[in-house]
Chains A and B, each alone.
Chain A
Amino acid sequence: DVKVTQSSRYLVKRTGEKVFLECVQDMDHENMFWYRQDPGLGLRLIYFSYDVKMKEKGDIPEGYSVSREKKERFSLILESASTNQTSMYLCASTQTGDNYGYTFGSGTRLTVV
């Protein structure tokens, strides 16, 4: 069964901490994405990557950075966590040319206190 695995299901961090959210996929997909999901706002794209070491900003990149050193792994970094970054974070991947859309990870619910 193909999978996108996010390293943590729940995280609680303090304001100002540096936070790493990890995502690994086993489908050899080129494309990987980080979204956050908030009630009433839906999924909003933070960053995405089309290949190793490549990254592009999504709609809300401020306060975040990403790293893709290997094809299967896409990391989201909160440089200095703030309370307004409390959210559900979803990682997704897809193969170029695939019309089945994304395969999502199960999500990381991050609370910043």
Chain B
Amino acid sequence: GQNIDQPTEMTATEGAIVQINCTYQTSGFNGLFWYQQHAGEAPTFLSYNVLDGLEEKGRFSSFLSRSKGYSYLLLKELQMKDSASYLCAVRGDTDSWGKLQFGAGTQVVVTP
């Protein structure tokens, strides 16, 4: 079976750093995605990792370790607008291009 785990909720103060962990067990691996979803809105793409290491994009960074089945999303210099749900998603195998398996999401609450 397939399993993607991430914490349910995290709280941090404005200006701080938060790290959202994601562990996965999937049949095959062909990339890991992070999405941001504000309440009542559609998810939007944040990052993509397929090789081990860190990908940095402004205040957001994403890390992948394929051998450990582990990724994290790092949010720096938190702003109130970063309060949202963050979804970890894995693309399992190359013959199902595009098909993603999602975790349940991590609700990040940013406080003043």
Contact surface of A with B, Cβ cutoff 8 Å: 31, 33, 35, 40-45, 48, 50, 58, 90, 94, 96-107
Contact = CB atoms under 8 A, between A and B. Distances in A.
A80 B48 CA distance: 38
Given A31-B97, A48-B99, A99 B42 contact: no
Nearest to A88: B40
Contacts, number: 58
Contacts of A50: 97-98
A100 B45 contact: yes
Contacts of A102: 43, 45, 98, 100
Interface stretch (B10-18, B59-67, B69-77, B102-110): B102-110
B89 A106 contact: no
Interface string B29-61: 001010100000111110010100000000000
Contacts of A103: 45
B87 interface: yes
Nearest to A93: B98
A33 B99 contact: yes
Contact of B89 (A31, A101, A105): A101
22 contacts: A33-B99, A40-B8, A41-B104, A42-B87, A42-B104, A43-B43, A45-B99, A45-B100, A45-B101, A94-B98, A96-B97, A96-B98, A99-B31, A101-B33, A101-B35, A101-B45, A101-B48, A101-B89, A102-B45, A102-B100, A105-B42, A107-B42
A98 to B, nearest CB: 8
Given A90-B42, A101-B45, A104-B42, A33 B104 contact: no
A99 B48 contact: yes
Contacts of A31: 97-98
A31 B97 CA distance: 8
B98 A33 contact: yes
A8 to B, nearest CB: 14
